[in-house]
C-alpha cells in the first residue's frame, strides 16, 4: 500500500502524504512513494497542475526520527558522488505549477518541499518550521531556498532558532500566500488549480522556467533566453488554438501540444 496517494481529476493531480499516524513523517518507503508520485506528475501528459497536501493533522513532520534511514532516498554513488538533487524537495526540475495546501504541521522536509512550490495556501491550523538546528544538524536546502522566498532576517530567525511559526505569521512574512479556514483549505486549493488549468499549459511551463532560470542569469542573457522560449511556445498547437479562439470569440481548447 502506497504511503502517498496520487489522484488525477481532469488536469489536476492531487498528491497526498498518507501516513497520518506518524504525522506524515518520511521514512525510506514514504520517500520512494513520494518520489514516484512527483515523477508521475512530471511525466504524465494530462497532469498540468499539482496540489500537494497531507492526510490527518499534519502536512509533513519532516524525517521520521524513529526510523529515518533512507528518508533522503537510496541512490548509487560513493560519498561525494552520491546525487543530491534526488527529489522534488531538493530541486527536481518540474515546471508545471504546484500548489501546497498546508493542512497542519509543516516541518523539515515538509517545509523544504513547500519552498519549492509556486503557491502556498495554509490552513489556519498550519505551523511551519525548520527544527533541525535544535537537533544539532543544519538544514541545507532550506538554508539555500528560504532566504530566496522571504526577507533575510525572517528566514534567519526561522533557520537559526528552529522555532515554528503560525500560519498567520507565515502569511505576514510572505511564506504563505493565503490563510484560510481549515475546512475550506482543499476547496480554495482546487479553485486556484481550476484558474491555473484555464491557461495554456505549455505557455505556463515556459513562463515558470523563465522565472526560475532568469534569477540566476544576467539581465541580457535572461531576456535572450526568454525570447527563445517565446519562439518555442509560439510554434505549438496550443498557440495556434489560442489565436484562433481569440479571433472566433470563444474559449480556447488546450491540448498541451
- Whether CATH 3.40.50.720 fits 4-197: no
The residue assigned the cell 526510523 is 67
d(CA 233, CA 92): 22
Domain with CATH 3.90.226.10 in the chain: 4-197
Residue 69 has what pLDDT?
A: 73
List per-residue pLDDT tens for the chain, 257 residues long.
899 999 999 999 999 999 999 999 999 999 999 999 999 999 999 999 999 999 999 999 999 988 767 777 777 788 888 888 899 999 999 999 999 999 999 999 999 999 999 999 999 999 999 999 999 999 999 999 999 999 999 999 999 999 999 999 999 999 999 999 999 999 999 999 999 999 999 999 999 999 999 999 999 999 999 999 999 999 999 999 999 999 999 999 999 99
Q: Which three cell numbers stand for residue 58?
A: 499534519
d(CA 26, CA 28): 7
Domain with CATH 1.10.12 in the chain: 201-248
Residue 168 has what pLDDT?
A: 98
Q: What CATH number is given for 201-248 in this structure?
A: 1.10.12
CB contact at 8 A, 179 and 106: no
Amino acid at each position: 500500500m502506497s504511503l502517498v496517494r496520487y489522484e488525477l481529476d481532469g488536469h489536476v493531480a492531487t498528491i497526498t502524504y498518507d501516513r497520518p499516524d506518524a504525522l506524515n513523517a518520511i521514512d525510506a518507503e514514504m520517500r520512494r512513494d513520494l518520489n514516484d508520485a512527483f515523477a508521475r506528475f512530471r511525466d504524465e501528459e494530462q497532469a498540468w497542475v499539482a496540489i500537494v497536501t497531507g492526510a490527518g493533522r499534519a502536512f509533513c513532520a519532516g524525517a521520521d526520527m524513529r526510523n529515518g534511514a533512507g528518508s533522503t532516498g537510496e541512490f548509487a554513488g560513493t560519498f561525494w558522488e552520491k546525487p543530491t538533487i534526488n527529489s522534488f524537495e531538493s530541486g527536481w526540475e518540474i515546471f508545471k505549477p504546484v500548489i501546497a495546501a498546508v493542512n497542519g504541521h509543516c516541518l523539515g522536509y515538509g517545509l523544504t518541499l513547500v519552498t519549492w512550490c509556486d503557491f502556498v495556501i495554509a490552513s489556519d491550523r498550519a505551523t511551519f518550521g525548520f527544527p533541525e538546528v535544535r537537533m544539532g544538524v543544519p538544514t541545507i536546502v532550506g538554508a539555500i531556498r528560504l532566504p530566496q522566498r522571504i526577507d533575510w532576517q525572517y528566514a534567519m530567525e526561522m533557520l537559526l532558532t528552529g522555532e515554528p511559526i503560525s500560519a498567520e505569521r507565515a502569511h505576514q512574512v510572505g511564506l504563505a500566500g493565503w490563510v484560510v479556514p481549515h475546512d475550506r483549505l482543499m476547496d480554495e486549493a482546487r479553485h486556484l488549480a481550476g484558474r491555473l488549468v484555464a491557461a495554456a499549459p505549455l505557455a505556463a511551463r515556459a513562463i515558470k522556467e523563465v522565472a526560475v532560470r532568469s534569477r540566476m542569469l544576467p539581465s541580457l542573457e535572461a531576456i535572450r533566453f526568454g525570447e527563445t522560449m517565446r519562439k518555442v511556445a509560439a510554434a505549438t498547437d496550443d498557440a495556434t488554438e489560442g489565436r484562433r479562439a481569440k479571433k472566433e470569440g470563444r474559449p480556447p481548447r488546450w491540448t498541451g501540444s
